[in-house]
């Protein structure tokens, strides 16, 4: 799920990261971007509580292509009154930047890739999921991890995973949905892990973690839920796939207490050099995706350039977190080859080298054989 850039890149994160149900907001943001291009009125495409966003108050996913954002009061509405979106800066920026990025990175890579973080079970993919998966295989994306975020979607997630051998499932209770989670859901999570123990398509516990960037975070409750799920990861000897926003210190402290045998992945890592070192010391891999392809993520670029290759894995967070070369559309594992090329440029290495390293790191973490087909 979309991370705060966590490094002062306010133009790239901002108000969007404060929304509790940000997957709903991401879907709305994609519709709003289309409205921006066509001049469609907000009222015709956005849920009531999202109509407050104007060009100055777009969620960050859309706002990255709409210029700077004005302050928005999350409790009382927008900085300006609702109206129609205008293209303005959007068209000019995308004409000179997004098109160039697409031309630069559209070739992809010639090495097997693994997308370590997606939400392909989301309704965003209902219309064309089979075609997306077929396309991924043709592009070299041979394995895809699909993460659960709440109890009500676990059955759907597993049915989807069982139907496609390229998919691997992780089950978890995401901190952003803390108000939806119930105590009995932890017992159900343990039940799923027990029933599927040893199944080759069960790969981790996740998406779990701490999110202090939501408005009025219930930190004690989040921490209790997080630690209970870390204990499950330890009990079932599974990696943990982590969501971390504005909470690195508490997450690192919890990981030191639990000392997971299989470690895991810090999804959408956007922290500092020091935080990267702490996670790496604990055996965790750092998930890199579309956020780092945006030109405003300057500190992230500097941190990524210094990361050791044996510490990174690649991800898309589909359908969210679209890369800079595809700002208008739903994100997809199909974009992973282009993301790989863009990140390799930041690291000043050949894209094939990054692809090979990230694939080997993922296979090592999840216990998958490293073969020609990953």
Question: Tell me, what's the pLDDT at 295?
Answer: 94
Question: Tell me, what's the pLDDT at 293?
Answer: 97
Q: How confident is the model at residue 19 (pLDDT cuts 50, 70, 90)?
A: very low
Question: Which residues lie closer than 8 Å to 200 by C-beta, 6 or more apart?
Answer: none
Question: Which residues lie closer than 8 Å to 203 by C-beta, 6 or more apart?
Answer: 145, 168, 169, 170, 238, 239, 366
CATH entry 3.20.20.140 includes domain 101-366: yes
Domain positions in the chain are: 10-96, 101-366
Q: How confident is the model at residue 203 (pLDDT cuts 50, 70, 90)?
A: very high
pLDDT of 47 > 60? The answer is no
Q: How confident is the model at residue 23 (pLDDT cuts 50, 70, 90)?
A: very low
pTM score of the predicted model = 0.77
Stretch 46-72: mean pLDDT, rounded?
A: 32
Question: Tell me, what's the pLDDT at 26?
Answer: 52
User: Which whole-number Å values give the CA distances from 47 to 29, 51, 295, in the listed order?
Assistant: 11, 6, 30
Q: What is the pLDDT of residues 87-104, one digit of tens each?
A: 344 444 454 555 555 555
For 165, other C-beta atoms within 10 Å of its C-beta total 10
- CA 79 to chain centroid, in Å, comes to 28
Q: For the chain, give me the number of helices (H) and strands (E)?
A: 13, 8
User: Which whole-number Å values give the CA distances from 38 to 4, 84, 86, 96, 126, in the listed order?
Assistant: 29, 10, 9, 19, 24
Going by C-alpha positions, the residue among 263, 262, 261 that lies closest to residue 251 is: 263
CB–CB of 16/22 below 8 Å? yes
Residue given tokens 């999350």 in the structure block: 74
Partners of residue 329 on adjacent β-strands: none
């Amino acid at each position: 799920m979309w991370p705060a850039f966590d490094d002062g890149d306010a133009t790239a994160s901002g108000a969007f990261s404060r929304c509790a149900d940000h997957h709903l907001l991401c879907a709305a943001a994609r519709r709003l971007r289309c409205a921006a291009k066509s001049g469609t009125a907000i009222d015709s495409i956005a849920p009531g509580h999202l109509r407050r966003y104007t060009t100055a108050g777009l969620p960050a996913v859309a706002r990255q292509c709409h210029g700077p954002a004005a302050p928005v009061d999350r409790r009382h509405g927008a900085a300006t009154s609702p109206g129609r979106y205008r293209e303005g800066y959007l068209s000019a920026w995308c004409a000179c930047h997004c098109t160039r990025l697409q031309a630069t990175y559209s070739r992809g890579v010639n090495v097997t890739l693994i997308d370590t973080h997606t939400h392909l079970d989301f309704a965003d993919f209902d219309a064309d999921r089979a075609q997306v998966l077929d396309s991924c295989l043709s592009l070299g994306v041979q394995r895809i991890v699909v993460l659960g975020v709440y109890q009500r979607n676990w059955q759907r997630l597993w049915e989807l995973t069982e139907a496609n051998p390229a998919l691997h499932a992780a089950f978890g209770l995401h901190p952003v949905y803390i108000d939806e989670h119930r105590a009995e859901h932890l017992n159900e999570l343990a039940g799923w892990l027990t029933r599927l123990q040893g199944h080759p398509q069960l790969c981790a516990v996740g998406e779990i973690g701490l999110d202090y960037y939501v408005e009025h975070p219930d930190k004690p409750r989040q921490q209790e839920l997080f630690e209970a799920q870390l204990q499950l990861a330890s009990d079932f000897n599974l990696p943990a796939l982590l969501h971390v926003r504005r909470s690195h210190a508490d997450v690192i402290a919890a990981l030191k207490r639990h000392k997971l045998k299989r470690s895991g992945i810090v999804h959408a890592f956007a922290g500092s050099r020091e935080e990267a070192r702490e996670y790496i010391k604990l055996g965790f891999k750092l998930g890199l995706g579309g956020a780092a392809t945006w030109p405003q993520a300057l500190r992230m670029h500097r941190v990524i350039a210094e990361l050791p290759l044996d510490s990174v894995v690649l991800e898309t967070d589909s359908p969210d977190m679209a890369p800079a070369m595809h700002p208008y559309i739903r994100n997809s594992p199909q974009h992973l080859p282009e993301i790989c090329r863009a990140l390799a440029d930041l690291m000043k290495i050949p894209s094939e080298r990054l692809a090979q390293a990230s694939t080997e790191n993922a296979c090592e973490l999840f216990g998958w054989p490293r073969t020609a087909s990953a």
